[in-house]
Chains A and B, each alone.
Chain A
Amino acid sequence: MEDYKFLFKVVLVGNAGVGKTCLVRRFTQGLFPPGQGATIGVDFMIKTIEIDNEKIKLQIWDTAGQERFRSITQSYYRSAHALILVYDISCQPTFDCLPDWLREIEEYANSKVLRVLVGNKLDREDREIPTEVGEQFAQRHNMYYLETSAKEAENVERLFIQIAAELMEQARCKELPRYEIGSESIDQNATTIKTKPCCNN
């Protein structure tokens, strides 16, 4: 029986093709079986990590078909603990779309959702957006910033661990609902990465 101290929900947002799914797959090391994205429209992956001897369950949600939203409104992520906004450092349009993704970002600056800006595809030679530009954008909008490469596994682990650590810190300050010993019905025994099989009770 798995138990965990915290359950955090993370939502991925960004243009098609920036590597959102790859980021998560890399983080879960491809062990996660192909999900239900093609029939539910939303995919999620779970990974349990340990920080300061506390087990933390990260649930990472990846929505297909976001392209149809010109922007994502607050209702989309208000129940999430963290939001990762991804762009491709070798593709200017994906960066230009960032303000559209989070409409009126500054308005929600004090919302509790932790927001992280990620420039993905660090491995690409043809970078179009300098690190400083990404950094400045993140700074302006009160976001965390990190550049990653899902392909080379660079900074991917770090990204999620940082998020988990930050959320745990917040949770300890009672800013977040606490998830005490996990419910047995929702989890099942697994080491780090798990999905829920049919439970035939």
Chain B
Amino acid sequence: MGSRLRQDVKHFFECFCEVVGPKCDDTTAWIIQKFPECYKDESVLKSVPKFAFPCEFDKTVPQHYSFVLTNVDSKWTFGFCRHDPRSETALVVLTYLPWHEAFSKFLNYISELMQGSYSDHLWKFLDIVYQSKIPRIGINLSVSIHPSLKEFVCEAPSQFKLPSIPENRNLTEYYNAVDNHNMMIIFASMLYERRIIFTSKKLSRLSACVQSANALLYPMSWQHIFIPVLPQSLIDYLLAPMPYLIGLPHSLIKNIKRNDLGDVVILDADNNAVETPFHDLESLPADVVHNLQKQLRNRASVLGDGVSRAFLRALVQLIGGYRDALKISQGKKITFSQEAFVESRPSSIQPFLKKMLELQIFQQFIEERLDLLNAGLGFSDEFELEVCNYSDKSGSKLQQYKEWVHTMRKEGTAFFKTVKNRANPAVKSAVKTVKERGKDVRSVYKGFRSKLKDKKENPNSVPSSPTTDRAHFSTSDLKLSSSGAKGDRSQFHLLEEATISSSQSNEDLSPLNMDLMGDLQDVIFRNCYTVSDETNNKATSHSSKLPEDNTVQNCIANSFTSRFNAFSSSNTEIDDGDVFKLPHKMLPPSRSESVILQNEPKDLIRLDSASSIGDFDPLTNGEHSQNSSVYSEDFSPVGVSNPLYSFYYINKTKRPQKDSDLLNEYGINFNGLNLKTDSECSTQTIAKSKSEWTKFD
């Protein structure tokens, strides 16, 4: 729902085009050749030349940039574009995969083929890549077309990792071009869903900044008009009354009158200047801004995902409380309570949260999470991890979350069991199993709930939310009922009490006050044992990690010399260098571990030194770590945008695990899953007569 990436991607790329630029003023750009020939999406093909030559620009240096096309379903198609001063044509590849680094390599490789004496091989190369399976996360796609030619290798990036500097070229470009304060203003403007224009003389910087600004909203995603590079012919889109994020080539600015634009936020990425009629950053809760500022100022954490994580933590502070507002009732879909969302947080940020509810990006985010939950999937990503860290720190919501986890565990266990028993899980049966399990649980909760009701009659209790007339158990009920007690400690005891009494009412109910982390470990790693044991004897493969680390080093070196001004050809040489020639060679774990240790960026702003998350870190358990890196070759790639993956935690002192590894171990194949739209509408409108109503006649 919220995601604008496609899930059902079949090919590495959809179409490759070579586009001839406009010769003089009266001719427009046109496509001279394309692959595959059968690609027939006329509206896209008509647009490609416009986006490949969006305006007059400096053609004296090789230039890579990306554009985005939005189809009628609001899904994005990425266009990666390469201009070379040696050529009059632009190379464009259209794809549904947002793999910026992989496709710039791809275009460099194609360019070399075309410029060299092997241009005959281009079609063969494209065909092989087109027919190849999309590589799994962290795995290389390697194609060799001729013995005397270098092999083409690129890695499938993990979308679960936060963008890092300098590996992520978009973020590196954005960070270099725009200072912390201005990045924060843009961040705030995007949260307020403004109409936002980025400008730059360089198309590469333009698209990189727009893409990164959106990436920093993770786990949310921009829901409105999104045009990283705006072609001259579409300049009227700047007049759109709805929110937008548009990259405007600097040369086109003169074509637009400021007066017509209305209220817009403009970032000049070449001069690091923001112009805004709003006070969005000032309107964010002060402590959120303060923390963000502090973390961004920490220069030691610039390398790696420090910048991304700083923004992520700001979002955790703002919207991490969404989990406290989830209403879980057996047999019904999980819903989100707006009131509970606002009320669960300190009053200082409540006004902002109320505004947040009006934002499309937030609403889509909630929809997406509800869809995942209602599909019976437990999930975790960097955002959820940070939420855990944050609530650990603040301590207040842990108990509540515990209950929530417990509920999910009941369902989750069934789900995982089903998954485990079937090589290629059918969701239907999983859901069925969950439902059956849910029946037992429901009756238990009924008893539990009636107990809670008793508690509510306590004069200290806050009135329950209006939805309590429905027979269900909800987290907010729990919270409200327990709020009569003073302090966290007593809250804890109160819940224990309730738990005990409810288990008395039903013998089958296991105590609710189980150890949170133990619960999770139990749910998640139950399968881990089984899968690991089965695959115990298979060889471990770390090779995909090794090239990445070399790339990291190359990139670091590169970033400080050239500041990523262009994807220089020398960089290509390095990238395609020898390290990539051994994609599937097995390496002893110890070797690989030491490599990682050397290259792991220092994480100086980790706040969770005493986090209990560590308790269920699979890597701290010797037995697990032995088996945790096993790849099973029949594991299919995960949907490109699905933020789901089983709970894991990277212990910085140990070898990080690949996400796909973990997924695989749990026996999860998300390809078989179809997330359904929640059609339940809960919006209430209060009828209200207005006398000033007018009717056309």
Contacts and interface: CB of A to CB of B under 8 A. Distances in A.
Contact of B192 (A75, A80, A100, A143): A75
B570 interface: no
Interface in B250-275: 254-257, 259-260, 262-263
B74 A61 contact: no
B257 A183 contact: yes
Contacts of A77: 241-242
A140 B1 contact: no
B685 A105 contact: yes
Interface string A112-155: 00000000000000000000000100111111111000000000
Given A41-B71, A44-B240, A201 B193 contact: no
B603 to A, nearest CB: 35
Given A39-B69, A76-B242, A159-B696, 13 more contacts: A36-B237, A37-B72, A39-B44, A40-B237, A65-B72, A71-B363, A76-B243, A103-B683, A135-B695, A138-B695, A140-B690, A198-B232, A201-B255
A79 B241 contact: yes
Contacts of A100: 681, 683
A65 B6 CA distance: 14
Contacts of B71: 38-39, 41, 64-65
B693 interface: yes
Contacts of A41: 70-72, 74, 225-226
Contact of A80 (B237, B242, B687): B242
23 contacts: A11-B242, A36-B234, A39-B44, A42-B70, A42-B242, A61-B240, A61-B241, A63-B242, A68-B73, A75-B358, A75-B360, A76-B224, A79-B195, A97-B681, A99-B684, A104-B685, A106-B688, A138-B693, A139-B690, A140-B689, A145-B695, A185-B257, A186-B236
Contacts of A185: 254-257
A70 interface: yes
A9 interface: yes
Pairs A-B, 9 closest by C-beta atoms: A41-B70, A65-B74, A183-B257, A38-B43, A75-B193, A80-B241, A9-B241, A64-B72, A79-B241
Given A40-B234, A142-B692, A7 B241 contact: no
Interface of B: 1, 25, 28, 43-44, 46-47, 69-75, 192-193, 195, 223-227, 232-237, 239-243, 254-257, 259-260, 262-263, 358-360, 363-364, 367, 678, 681, 683-690, 692-696
Given A99-B685, A100-B683, A139-B693, A69 B363 contact: yes
B683 A38 contact: no
A36 to B, nearest CB: 6
A183 B260 contact: yes
Contacts of B1: 68
B682 to A, nearest CB: 9
A24 to B, nearest CB: 15
Name which of A70, A74, A106 has the most chain B CB atoms within 10 A of its CB: A70
A59 interface: yes
Given A64-B74, A100-B683, A140-B690, A199 B255 contact: yes
A144 B696 contact: yes
A196 B239 CA distance: 12
A198 B28 contact: yes
Contacts of A76: 193, 224, 242-243, 360
Size range of the chain A interface in the assembly: 35 or more
B241 A11 contact: yes
Nearest to B237: A40
A20 interface: no
Contacts of B242: 11, 42, 61, 63, 76-77, 79-80
A162 interface: yes
Contacts of A42: 70, 225, 237, 240, 242
Contacts of A103: 358, 683
Nearest to A36: B234
B696 A70 contact: no
Contacts of A201: 254-255
A79 B263 CA distance: 8
Nearest to A196: B236
At the interface, is chain B mostly helix, strand, loop or mixed?
loop
Interface string A1-15: 000000101010000
Nearest to B41: A38
Nearest to B695: A145
Contact of A75 (B243, B692, B693): B243
A177 interface: yes
A1 B499 CA distance: 77
A97 B195 CA distance: 27
A72 B237 contact: no
Contacts of A59: 239, 241
Interface in A45-82: 46, 59, 61, 63-65, 67-77, 79-81
A160 to B, nearest CB: 11
A11 to B, nearest CB: 6
Nearest to A138: B693
A41 B488 CA distance: 49
A40 B71 CA distance: 7
Contact of B359 (A65, A75, A146): A75
A197 to B, nearest CB: 7
B245 to A, nearest CB: 12
A40 B228 CA distance: 11
A158 interface: yes
Contact of B70 (A40, A74, A106, A145): A40
Interface string A85-108: 000000000000101100111100
Contacts of B243: 75-76, 79
Contacts of B43: 38-39
Given A36-B234, A185-B255, A71 B683 contact: yes
Contacts of B694: 144
A71 B72 CA distance: 17
A182 B227 CA distance: 25
A69 B2 CA distance: 9
Contacts of B364: 68-69
Nearest to B192: A75
A200 interface: yes
B241 A140 contact: no
A73 B359 contact: yes
Given A11-B241, A81-B241, A106-B686, A68 B74 contact: yes
B241 A197 contact: no
B107 to A, nearest CB: 21
Contacts of B239: 9, 59, 186
A146 to B, nearest CB: 5
A32 interface: no
Contacts of B25: 200
A75 B223 CA distance: 11
A179 B692 CA distance: 28
Nearest to B56: A200
Contacts of B28: 198
Contacts of B681: 70-71, 97, 100
A100 B227 CA distance: 28
A31 interface: no
A76 B72 CA distance: 17
B358 A179 contact: no
Contacts of B259: 179, 183
Contacts of A142: 690, 692-693
A34 B364 CA distance: 29
A195 B235 CA distance: 11
A104 B681 CA distance: 13
Contacts of B236: 44, 46, 186, 195-196
Nearest to B47: A39
A174 B681 CA distance: 38
